[in-house]
């Protein structure tokens, strides 16, 4: 599934480049969207299979995994100093996305209308990111546009080959997503845990592998803002695009646990990221990276050790 996502992004980027779309816009839209493609397809497949909880858990669990495991692993490779003005613009949008998603889930139900509103929000987000990327900003201190896309957008890829890569990647993504959902449902039944728990942990971990690979690679190249920006952008896509699909395809009740346990944790680790981002003297060093990874491991273990933990009143 991860290899399919890589081919899908590479083919789509090459095709868009041949059609005259700028590399920066491709990097901020096609490539960013592509890293969230596994989450979106898995959530769609889970909803079609009648396992709405896997889709909802995947959206929230992927965000927790991105901030804890992905950023933690990137920080172990190289400490992350965050100075990007782009992040300061995007992080408030991330919190707005979380607020909207939490409001929609608060009544314990995700309706089709709410799903449609979320997916509309995702397309508005893509348009906003593209607009921000094209704006001339004299004080903008991020790396040049090519730093975002050197490894993802080919300089010259024949259109026919781009179409083949795009198609093959899409087929592998679809097939891999379906197999992952089948396996997740089977694990949930065999271990006697809810599908929500499996979605929050194993499925979220599997679908976050593209973000993990991208952020670690960016950290190794010294592109620290990209490593963090990849997580921020992916989390916005997850809250809007990934969470929307269970609502659109299979609207209905949502486990209260997602509201009283998992969403607060997601907000908490994102607040921690915000504190690190706005303080210029602060950075995510190896000690903080290790702490983030330990938070991920503890969350993972607690869910399987005591999956009924969040059964709170209301």
Taking only the tens place, the pLDDT of each residue in 227-244 is 777 788 888 889 999 999
**pLDDT above 70 as % of the chain:** 79
For the entire predicted model, the pTM comes to 0.79
At residue 68's C-alpha, the angle toward residues 263 and 308, to 5°, is 45
Where exactly are the structural domains of the chain? 2-305
Band (pLDDT 50/70/90 cuts) for residue 119 is very high
Band (pLDDT 50/70/90 cuts) for residue 136 is very low
Residue 121 reports pLDDT greater than 80: yes
Band (pLDDT 50/70/90 cuts) for residue 97 is very high
Nearest CA-CA partner of 261 in 198, 309, 313, 293: 309
Band (pLDDT 50/70/90 cuts) for residue 154 is low
- What CATH number should be reported for the domain whose range is 2-305? 1.20.1420.30
Q: What is the mean pLDDT of residues 77-89?
A: 71
CA 61 from chain centre, in angstroms, equals 9
Give, as one character, the DSSP assignment of residue 67: I
Name 284's Cβ contacts closer than 8 Å, sequence gap at least 6: 71, 74, 75, 79, 80, 82, 228, 276, 292
Q: What is the pLDDT of residue 177?
A: 76
Count CB-CB contacts under 10 A for residue 186.
Answer: 11
Q: What is the pLDDT of residue 149?
A: 44
Pairwise CA distance, residues 244 & 237, whole Å: 10
């Amino acid at each position: 599934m991860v290899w399919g996502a890589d081919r899908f992004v590479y083919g789509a980027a090459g095709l868009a480049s041949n059609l005259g779309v700028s590399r920066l816009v491709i990097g901020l839209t096609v490539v960013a969207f592509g890293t969230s493609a596994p989450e979106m397809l898995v959530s769609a497949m889970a909803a079609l299979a009648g396992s709405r909880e896997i889709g909802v858990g995947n959206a929230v669990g992927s965000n927790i995994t991105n901030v804890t495991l992905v950023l933690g692993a990137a920080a172990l490779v190289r400490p992350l100093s965050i100075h990007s003005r782009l992040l300061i613009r995007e992080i408030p949008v991330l919190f707005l996305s979380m607020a909207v998603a939490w409001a929609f889930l608060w009544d314990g139900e995700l309706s089709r209308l709410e799903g449609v509103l979320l997916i509309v929000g995702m397309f508005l987000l893509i348009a906003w990111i593209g607009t921000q990327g094209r704006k001339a900003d004299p004080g903008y201190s991020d790396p040049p546009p090519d730093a975002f896309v050197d490894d993802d957008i080919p300089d010259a890829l024949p259109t026919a080959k781009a179409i083949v890569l795009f198609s093959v990647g899409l087929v592998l993504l679809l097939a891999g997503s379906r197999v992952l959902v089948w396996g997740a449902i089977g694990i949930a039944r065999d271990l006697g845990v809810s599908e929500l728990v499996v979605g929050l942990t194993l499925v979220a971990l599997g679908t976050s592998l593209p973000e993990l690979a991208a952020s670690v690679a960016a950290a190794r190249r010294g592109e620290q803002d990209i490593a963090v920006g990849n997580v921020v952008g992916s989390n916005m896509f997850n809250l809007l695009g990934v969470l929307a699909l269970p609502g659109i395809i299979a609207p209905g009740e949502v486990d209260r646990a997602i509201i009283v346990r998992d969403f607060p944790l997601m907000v908490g680790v994102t607040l921690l990221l915000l504190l690190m981002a706005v303080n210029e003297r602060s950075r995510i060093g190896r000690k903080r990276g290790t702490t983030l990874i330990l938070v991920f491991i503890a969350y993972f273990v607690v869910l399987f050790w005591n999956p009924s933990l969040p059964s709170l009143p209301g």
